[in-house]
Structure 1
């Protein structure tokens, strides 16, 4: 009885995480890239307010749920896929924490208005790391979904 509940929860949390990152990568990010530095900094600060507390909750919840399912599921192929999903979700967390978050903090620390002369625009680097974690999240979601289809 526990496995179906955990399965539904992990589909929800990992689907939200992968969906938000995917939407950001294909919709929000291109818009941010096209903005002037001043517009980008202002928009980045606004957008980050909602994502910052919620995304870690979704990713960590998904990771823990995949681990729990890997432990309780007795089907070897499903168990392996839950482990794969958890590993890729850890990858999302690592990239986020050690690559994107430090950039986010630097951008949020800038004062409103014109960016300082010689500002090192982090968008190219941030975008590459965001694409990496988005890819990891999509792989994790797919692995979880496939694992849940085994009978």
Structure 2
């Protein structure tokens, strides 16, 4: 995003609109939707075995992923991307700056929650799995 912010607004906005179009492909969809399904399965198994070592850590890691990387993406970043997709280049001054601030904020939050999620899942699965 910082690189896109360094170029003139209309070009940065157009580039991000193109990125958002290109990212939707079968592999991305499989990974994007498959990971929360795996986390739901892990959470279900962990709940069924709460007395097992690592099960609570696994459950917390799965929940963090579902709230952070997946939840924030669906509730915050996707709507921002949709708003950007609907914008005209003539709206650059009003849309692009706001988009960058909000998108980066939520991206940083989901990234940090994702890191916590990975650490919890790794620690939990080492003991639980």
Same-fold call, TM > 0.5? yes
SS of the residue corresponding to residue 38 of structure 1 reads helix
Distance 1:117 1:138 in 2: 33
Q: Structure 1's 51 and 139: CA in aligned 2 closer, same or farther, altered over 3 A?
A: farther
Q: Structure 1's 131 and 105: CA in aligned 2 closer, same or farther, altered over 3 A?
A: same
In the TM superposition, residue 74 of structure 1 has moved relative to its aligned partner by: 6.3
In the TM superposition, residue 38 of structure 1 has moved relative to its aligned partner by: 1.3
Name whichever of 95-104 and 71-80 sits farther off.
Answer: 71-80
In the TM superposition, residue 85 of structure 1 has moved relative to its aligned partner by: 1.0
2:119 aligns with: 142
Distance 1:116 1:76 in 2: 55
Contact 1:69–1:82 (CA under 8 A) maintained in structure 2: no
Q: 1:67 aligns with which of 8, 19, 43?
A: 43
Distance 1:134 1:34 in 2: 22
Q: 1:89 aligns with which of 46, 65, 71?
A: 65
Q: Gaps (5+ residues) in structure 2?
A: none
Q: 2:109 aligns with which of 132, 140, 143?
A: 132
Q: 1:119 aligns with which of 79, 89, 94?
A: 94
Distance 1:62 1:129 in 2: 23
Q: Deviations over 1:18-67 (max 9, x none)?
A: xxxxxxxxxxx332232322122222122223444526314423422321
How many residue pairs get aligned? The number is 121
SS of the residue corresponding to residue 58 of structure 2 reads helix
The RMSD of aligned alpha carbons is: 2.5
Distance 1:43 1:99 in 2: 20
Q: Gaps (5+ residues) in structure 1?
A: 1-28
